[in-house]
Each structure stands twice: as C-alpha cells, then as structure tokens.
Structure 1
C-alpha cells in the first residue's frame, strides 16, 4: 500500500492552475507548516516540484499542499498534478497514507484521529488494514475501535483483501454447515467460503468424521435437512430483497442480463467498489477501478471531452472509443457467462 500504488490515481501528469486548487480537508489538524513550505521553495528552485495528487471533480488537494504553497512562494501560476478518481472517504484514506509515508509526517494525535474516522467509514476493515494506512500498531487501532464504539461486523477485510471472521467460532460454524451440506467439498473451497484457514476446515472435518460413529443416522439426516432448510430460506430472502418484483427462481434472478444502470445507480455502484479493499489492495482490482471510472462519466463531461478534442485527434479517438466499446461488450458477455455458471449448481 505504498504511495506508488495508490488506488484511483492516474499516471498522467497535468499542469493545473494553482488558483483552481482547493486546500481544505487535510488530516493535519495544525494546518500547513510555513517553514516546511519555504524549505521546499528554496530547495533547488530551478527544479520542478514532484506532482501533487488532486481529487477529480472537486480539485481538492489530497497530497501536496506544502508543494502548492512552495510553488506560490516561487511565483509560479501552475503546478504538475495527477488526478484521483474516488469519493471523499477514499480521498481521506489516500491523504493519510501519503502523509504517513513521505513528506512532513503526521503527528501521533493526527494519526489516531485519522484511525477513528477510517474505523467509522470502513468498519469492516481489519485492525491491521487500518494500521497500515495510519502508521499505528494493530493493537493501538484495536484499542481505538473499542474506546469509540466503532460498528461491530461479523467479518473484517484484511490488507490482502481477504474476508475473515472476527470470531473464530463463527467461522468454524460456517465451515461445519458447508461440510454437512456437501462432505466432498475441498478444503480450499470451504476455507474461502467460511473465511477460515484450510487447517481449521480440516479440523472441523475430522470432528464431524469422529461424530459420525456416535450419532445415529436419523439424527444426522435431520441435522442436514435443518441446515439445508435454513440455507434455502436465507437465499430466498436475499433474492426477494434484491428483486422483489421479479421471478424468485435463482437462475432467473441471477441471469446473464443485469438491468441497465442509471446515472445515480452507476455512481453508487462505483463508490461501493472503490471502498472495497479486495479491489483496492491488488493490481487487477486497481486497474478495474481505473477503467470503470469511464462508466460514471456524465453527459456534460462527455460533451466537454468531444468539444475540447483537437481536430487532428478526432479520427484516432473515435476509432479507439469504438474498439473500447467492443472490448466492454466482450467483457460483459464473459461476466454474464460467469453469472450463469454461478447460478447453476450443476
């Protein structure tokens, strides 16, 4: 999670007028350090300052406020910048992570304050995931979680994007239910579904195997039927909640043709994906989030892109846009196949 792998930060560097930048929302409670800004301005004044990071749409500076101050002291009218495509919660995480890793470090009080806010906005993140962002120990983050009554979740998402149960007992119970439904399931399959290690699944399987001689067949059959009924009822409820007016058949509910998304729904889905560490913390996920930003482009942005495009670029961009559309159609087809395969138990 180093600053070189920031989720949603583009690689293109643009020259942005300083007058258009917003210097608010810093995780630094004491504000900017004037002496630090002067030092940056005087340090090799002929050299360009490193690019700052700016949130697209708001022009708020996420990383590099002192560099902006230094550029002003030098009398410059613009500064190099890269754009971050994400919501305010993601921008705050990136701002904290950047200020912990380089530049003028955040104070201990600021890092604790940042941890509390991240715990409120991302209650599903593990203590280690939050600690890696704010530069505190997992133990300290855990204490902050308890002190300030952060929302309790059954599972948490770690730095690697994997979902793990907060309670080992709940994970073992999920593994037990899966093995009762299908004793032939592999260790890795059950491990991924229950959020526990393969070793834990092996232990649960051994316990169930040992119980088989002590439990009469009628009892075990009854237990399996009860578990299957609970799972079926839960799935039916989830399907009704997701598609209350559609056919409750699971294969139709999860068919290959998802309903078209309007602008509001598209933005909401994109925000949800950007806040998911299982995408944020791996290379494929970060690439996907970057290209999905195009889907959230509104009509005004599209018109501006068309209007501002130089005439000599129109043919090339039109051809690339058409090729991109074909690529997205193929991706949609492959995802539809995966949806169908997941919906069909056979």
Structure 2
C-alpha cells in the first residue's frame, strides 16, 4: 500500500488533460520548436499528409496555452503550410513546459510518425532530470520503452537520487524497502495503536509489511520485558545493592534519568500495556516522569500569570494522587512477594 501525492503525479499529461474545445489558430502565431524529434520533421511524411484529399480531415493539433508552442502535430502544420493554408484547428493544453514535453512524447509515441529509438532514449534522460521521482515503469509507459531500459539510462541523466518514486498509478513507493520498513517501525513506536492502513499510507509500504513490522516489535518487546525485570531484580538484590534502607523495605531512592528512560522504554514496548485502554492511559501520564529540569523551568516561565494559581493547585493534587498510586502499588508488590 502507498499513498497518492499531488503536483508531480504520473496521471497528468495525458490526452484527457487536453481541452475538448477545438479552435482555429493562425499558423503564423504558432511556435514550432521544442519537439522531441532531434532531426526535426520528416519532409516526406509532411508532403504525404498535404497530398491527402481535402475531405480527409486531419485531427486538430495540440498547442500549449500561453506560449502557442505546438506539442503535437508538427507534420500537420507543415502539411497545412504546403497547402497554403493560414489557419489550423487546435486544442489547448494547460500546463508547464515539463508537462508539455511529457505529453508531446506520449502522443508522438502512440500515433502518427513514431519517435525514433534515439529520440525516445533522449526523452527518457530529460524526463528523469525533470521528474527524478518517477519510477522506471512510469517513464517507460510514456516513452514506449521497457522499464529495464529506463533503469539503465537513469544513471546517465545526472538526476538526484530520490528516496521515493511515483508509480504509473500516481502512488508513492520507497526506493528501498528497508527505508519503508524503518518508517513504519518509527510510526508504530510513536503510536502502537495506529491501523495497518494508516501506517502503510504514511510509510509507503503495504499493510502486510506493516503487519510484519508490528509482529517483530511485539516479539522484541516480549523478549525484552523478562530481561528488564530480571535486571531490575538483580539491581534490587542485597548483593548488588547493600543499602540497609532497601533491606528494611524502605522506599527506594528516586530513579535517575537514565534508569527512568530505560523503564519507560520497556513499558512502552510491553504489548500488555500498549494494546489496552488502561495501559495506554498509564503510558501517557507516565511521560511526565521524563520531564527534566529545563523543561520544568520553561513550563513555569511560559505560564501566563492568571494560570499560575490553578496549575499550582492541580500540580499539588497530581502529586498527592501519584503518592497514593505509589502506595497502592507498593502494597500490591508486598502482597505478591508474600504469596510466593
């Protein structure tokens, strides 16, 4: 699964992006340059079109609005000139020069006198320079070459390497599957409750890949929790911590920043907390424990004067609530120890 982006999407510059209205335009006003044909128009082909019966009406040319540059129909313009005509039927394309070039290549590959192999390869190099994020398959569809050929030419265009590429369907996919998996992992660590589709859309990988990453995180968490608990038990044993206050069951000293961070990371990785409502609530309020002195000072300094009294009272109430919670947890811990 991947997500659609706007702006540089592959689905633009198609025949459907050409205006439906047909207008007459003076041939003298047309700009006959910028063709994807390096050798210019084929004189014999233009002459053959000029010699067609008058009732064999040729399709209208395609012109870029604003510049009057001919995107498709150079040979038809030359044929009209050979007939002595001063105007020609045209439809307009609203888009920039890069889009106009892509459309010119797409149309000249599919009808009329086909582009030569050399011109199609040259078009690949220009499209990749102007749209480095387009996938090999997307470019191949425009120029009428194989994706393998486009891939071989990509290294010659001097375009920057994009982390993601846009496919023929307009969807973004990572160039490296590993980078997509890493993005999915980061999202799941930040919000373990995110749905598969939400993560797949954000990371540019399939829901199956997200599911595999989630299973891997759960397995790692399941393996980590026993190790974390064993380490805490070793740290709390008299042999490792011969503090007489611990031996008498006194309240342990507050954990340092490193230990606090390690405990919070372990809890956040525990599936038994992450996947139930009470556990998620606990994890959200425990985040306060990570607040350092600088953060506390910033909160105090930035607090509006009219809020100080209320926040101080609420903070004091929160402290009392935490003390009560710590007391209840200590009672549960003692009860569990006594039952063993």
TM range (shorter): 0.5 to 0.7
Instruction: Describe the superposition over 1:38-82 as per-residue Cα deviations: whole angstroms up to 9, x where unpaired.
Output: 111222322322010001111110000001111122222111100
Does 2:19 match 1:10?
A: yes
Question: What residue in structure 2 maps to residue 101 of structure 1?
Answer: 110
C-alpha RMSD over aligned residues? 2.2
Q: How does 1:1-346 map to 2 (within 5 A)?
A: 5-6=14-15, 8-216=17-225, 219=262, 221-222=264-265
Quote how far apart the aligned CAs of 1:220 are: 7.7
CA contact (8 A) 2:13 2:103 kept: no
CA contact (8 A) 2:23 2:91 kept: yes
- Structure-2 change in CA distance of 1:4 and 1:129 (3 Å): closer
CA contact (8 A) 2:125 2:156 kept: no
Segments of structure 1 that go 5 or more residues without pairing to the other structure are: 226-346
CA distance in 1, matches of 2:263, 2:15: 51
Quote how far apart the aligned CAs of 1:96 are: 0.7
CA distance in 2, matches of 1:147, 1:128: 17
Further displaced range: 102-111 or 7-16: 7-16
CA contact (8 A) 1:3 1:98 kept: no
Quote how far apart the aligned CAs of 1:128 are: 0.9
> TM-score, normalised on structure 2?
0.63
- Structure-2 change in CA distance of 1:69 and 1:2 (3 Å): farther
Quote how far apart the aligned CAs of 1:5 are: 3.9
* The structure with more radius of gyration: 2
CA contact (8 A) 1:128 1:159 kept: yes
Match of 1:210, SS?
Answer: helix
CA distance in 1, matches of 2:173, 2:115: 30
Instruction: Describe the superposition over 1:179-230 as per-residue Cα deviations: whole angstroms up to 9, x where unpaired.
Output: 11122211111111000111111111111111111123664843869xxxxx
- Structure-2 change in CA distance of 1:102 and 1:114 (3 Å): same
Quote how far apart the aligned CAs of 1:2 are: 10
CA distance in 1, matches of 2:107, 2:222: 58
- Structure-2 change in CA distance of 1:3 and 1:172 (3 Å): closer
Match of 1:214, SS?
Answer: helix
CA distance in 2, matches of 1:198, 1:22: 49
CA distance in 2, matches of 1:185, 1:38: 64
CA distance in 2, matches of 1:38, 1:3: 33
Instruction: Describe the superposition over 1:75-101 as per-residue Cα deviations: whole angstroms up to 9, x where unpaired.
Output: 221111001111111111111111111
CA distance in 1, matches of 2:263, 2:85: 77
Match of 1:215, SS?
Answer: helix
CA contact (8 A) 2:13 2:100 kept: no
Instruction: Describe the superposition over 1:88-143 as per-residue Cα deviations: whole angstroms up to 9, x where unpaired.
Output: 11111111111111110111110010000011011111111111111111111111
CA distance in 2, matches of 1:77, 1:2: 35
CA distance in 2, matches of 1:203, 1:53: 49
CA distance in 2, matches of 1:177, 1:5: 37
CA distance in 1, matches of 2:79, 2:157: 38
Segments of structure 2 that go 5 or more residues without pairing to the other structure are: 1-9, 229-260, 270-340
CA distance in 2, matches of 1:220, 1:159: 47
Quote how far apart the aligned CAs of 1:3 are: 11
Match of 2:79, SS?
Answer: helix
- Structure-2 change in CA distance of 1:175 and 1:2 (3 Å): closer
